[in-house]
Amino acid sequence: MNHPDKPADFSRVGSRADSTAETADFSGVSGRVDTTAERVDTPQTYTVERGDTLSHIAKRFYGKAGEWNAIFEANRDQLSDPDRIQPGQVLVIPTRERQD
């Protein structure tokens, strides 16, 4: 009989697992995922603030100031000179992968 204040003694308990199964070969298995979801790459917009430059905006969105030309090209309808952006202008920021 076990005493209620004495912890159980598991010192003689052991375990063992035997298997005759072979290692599964998954080398010929391929996978594919189908989805009905649409991929949406919606460009963002940014309202120019005093002191902004296209390089500054590119650094903020893309992590690289040198990507400013992508923003300039996406906004050719309202920008004729990349050095003349004005506070209050709403610029389209094309979707790109950010590279920090």
Spans of all domains in the chain: 44-93
Instruction: Provide CATH code, domain 44-93.
Output: 3.10.350.10
Which pLDDT belongs to residue 100?
47
Averaged pLDDT for residues 36-49 = 74
What are the angstrom distances between the C-alpha of 64 and each of 8, 39, 87, 88, 98? 64, 25, 22, 23, 8
- 64-80 pLDDT, tens digit per residue, is 999 999 999 999 999 99
The pTM score is 0.56
Residues 57/90, Cβ–Cβ less than 8 Å: no
